[in-house]
A and B are shown apart, each in its own frame.
Chain A
Amino acid sequence: MTQTTPKIRIRGLRKAFGPKVVLDGIDLDVMPGTSMVIIGGSGSGKSVLLRCILGLIPADAGTIEIDGVDVLSLPTRRREAVIETIGMLFQNGALFDSLSVWENVAFGLLAAGRRHGKRPSRAEARATAGRVLEQVGLDPSVGALSPSELSGGMQKRVGLARAIAGQPDILFFDEPTTGLDPIMGAVIDGLIVDCVRKLGSTAIAITHDMASAQRIGDQAAMLYKGKLIWQGPATSLLNSGNPMVDQFTHGRREGPISMELRR
């Protein structure tokens, strides 16, 4: 595999829910080891894009290649093996509230071990979970708590720990700083950057938060009405030269993007 082959290559991806077209022929390349940030308004299809890649929502048309293999055409078993190489941080954490924090973090490790017939013991899994919790700045003693006993920022960190515990090749972040104060948001962004660098993973993050987008991303793209209308370096997000991106990143009310509001 050469470095010029994208880690994730999407072509002509289309998804509609009834008459509403959410993704309308998306073409996107994410190179190995880079972080791609996708911005866009609420309901623009950012989360649907990630869910299509993960196979949580079936795409209507198009191809999604990971390491050159079209995952949409793979049989279930092989597709599950590909998904196993992806870690995901959900917007609201999506921690399993019936399990303790350490069981959440070790869940993927135990599941993967079970699939491959070399399941670690619970003691080993707990020790690993403790080490991963330390990586995201949490004391291993937090592992004994229930997710409901944690603050929003701590839940995000546990979600991040769960996503990176299996040392995935690819990481997805769905609105990683939503609902957090600016300082905690910056802390989470820092942890994400550290984790992605340490693991050498390829990452896709979707966010509304421009500060976060610039901290996390190497590359950026904007999704509007189901199409990617701009791609470029994340550093040029605030002065992209594209009037739509500029309106969005500067939060201007007037501009080419018209909000569909009923007055």
Chain B
Amino acid sequence: MNAVLDFIAALGRAALNLVRTAGALTLFGVAALSHLVRPPFYWRIFFGALIEIGFFSLPVVALTALFSGGVIALQSYTGFAQYHAQGAIAGIVVLAVTRELGPVLAGLMVAGRVGAAMAAEIGTMRVTDQIDALTTLSTNPMKYLVTPRLLAGTIALPCLVLVADILGVLGGFVVSVVKLDFSAPAYIAATFTAVKTIDVTVGLAKAAVFGFLITLMGCYHGYTSRGGAQGVGSATTAAVVAASILLLASDYLLTDVFFSQ
């Protein structure tokens, strides 16, 4: 009987903890967003974050998209050839890349690279009193550290995804034409026939949501970290894990909203 009660109590504690964290995270996000419309805005921090997230993530996102596009083309071919439906491969590649793989893979790459770095940087600032020092120097830490990063993440990820979309389709094109002997003009025509504006725009909208969530997780876990190096390490891990899970969950929700008929 005691074991059952202990189990229920543990479940209750976990549920309360989840609700408490969700509440704290919501308040944190709202507070950060409220600073967008209250000057001053720290443009130097914003542009620094934009370059860090957008420009320096470009190689890893580009390579991931290129190879993923190629892999989809190959896998689709092996499956579709059995039914003589190879002509659908161009459409499969472009829809998979623009609707799902571009935003999700770019998001996961950025979560691993940027979310972790943000949590580590802000967490280190927290445990070395730099955030307290900001307050004593007439600077709101939320306004200075969090708001510019959130905006930069929300803007940078769609730009990255646009590049990922192009390179993902290019990867599929190269594999299809060079390895699978498709006709290049026919492949390009099939690609443009299959893709609709909404496929790309929804993918970019998803990317904006993912960018916001990744930077929010990085900033929140860094900002609330405690206890020295171990605390910063835990914050970094938590930021990446939480961002990845939220990213996939929100991807499902957005896909359900925009594409389920």
Report A's interface with B, CB cutoff 8 A: 51, 54-56, 80, 83-84, 86-88, 90-92, 94-98, 107-108, 111-112, 114-115, 162
Contact indicator B129/A94 (Cβ below 8 Å): yes
| Main secondary structure on A side of the interface with B | mixed
Q: A51: which B residues are within 8 A, CB to CB?
A: 132
Contact indicator A87/B136 (Cβ below 8 Å): yes
Contact indicator B138/A90 (Cβ below 8 Å): no
Q: A96: which B residues are within 8 A, CB to CB?
A: 125, 130, 133
> Nearest residue in A to B139 (C-beta to C-beta)?
A111
Contact indicator B135/A90 (Cβ below 8 Å): no
Q: A90: which B residues are within 8 A, CB to CB?
A: 129, 132-133
Contact with A along B116-138 (1 / 0, CB 8 A): 00000100010011101101111
Within 8 A of A (CB), among B121-159: 121, 125, 128-130, 132-133, 135-139
How many chain B residues touch A (CB < 8 A): the figure is 13
Report B's interface with A, CB cutoff 8 A: 40, 121, 125, 128-130, 132-133, 135-139
Q: B138: which A residues are within 8 A, CB to CB?
A: 80, 83-84, 108, 111-112, 115
Q: B130: which A residues are within 8 A, CB to CB?
A: 94-97
Q: A114: which B residues are within 8 A, CB to CB?
A: 40
CB A103 to nearest CB in B, in angstroms, measures 10
Q: B121: which A residues are within 8 A, CB to CB?
A: 98
A sample of 27 cross-chain residue pairs with beta-carbon separation below 8 angstroms, ordered by A number, consists of A51-B132, A54-B135, A54-B136, A55-B135, A56-B132, A56-B136, A80-B138, A84-B138, A87-B136, A88-B136, A90-B133, A91-B129, A92-B129, A94-B128, A94-B133, A95-B130, A95-B133, A96-B125, A98-B121, A107-B139, A108-B136, A111-B137, A111-B139, A114-B40, A115-B40, A115-B138, A162-B137
Contact indicator A83/B132 (Cβ below 8 Å): no
CB A56 to nearest CB in B, in angstroms, measures 5
> Nearest residue in A to B121 (C-beta to C-beta)?
A98
Q: A112: which B residues are within 8 A, CB to CB?
A: 138
Contact indicator A88/B133 (Cβ below 8 Å): yes
CB B148 to nearest CB in A, in angstroms, measures 13
Contact indicator A107/B137 (Cβ below 8 Å): yes
CA distance A56 to B130 in the complex (A): 12
CA distance A96 to B135 in the complex (A): 13
Known: A94-B129, A114-B40. A86 touches B139 (CB 8 A): no
CA distance A63 to B135 in the complex (A): 21
Q: A86: which B residues are within 8 A, CB to CB?
A: 136
Which residue among A86, A87, A96 has the maximum number of chain B CB atoms within 10 Å of its CB?
A96
CB B121 to nearest CB in A, in angstroms, measures 8
CB A38 to nearest CB in B, in angstroms, measures 18
Q: B133: which A residues are within 8 A, CB to CB?
A: 88, 90, 94-96
> Nearest residue in B to A172 (C-beta to C-beta)?
B136
Besides A55-B135, A108-B136, 13 other A-B contacts (C-beta < 8 A): A54-B136, A56-B135, A83-B136, A83-B138, A87-B136, A88-B133, A92-B128, A94-B128, A94-B130, A94-B132, A108-B138, A111-B138, A112-B138
CB A101 to nearest CB in B, in angstroms, measures 14
CB A184 to nearest CB in B, in angstroms, measures 20
Q: A162: which B residues are within 8 A, CB to CB?
A: 137
Q: B135: which A residues are within 8 A, CB to CB?
A: 54-56, 83
Q: A95: which B residues are within 8 A, CB to CB?
A: 130, 133
Q: A84: which B residues are within 8 A, CB to CB?
A: 138
> Nearest residue in B to A165 (C-beta to C-beta)?
B137
Q: A80: which B residues are within 8 A, CB to CB?
A: 138
CB A132 to nearest CB in B, in angstroms, measures 14
CA distance A56 to B137 in the complex (A): 12
> Nearest residue in A to B137 (C-beta to C-beta)?
A108
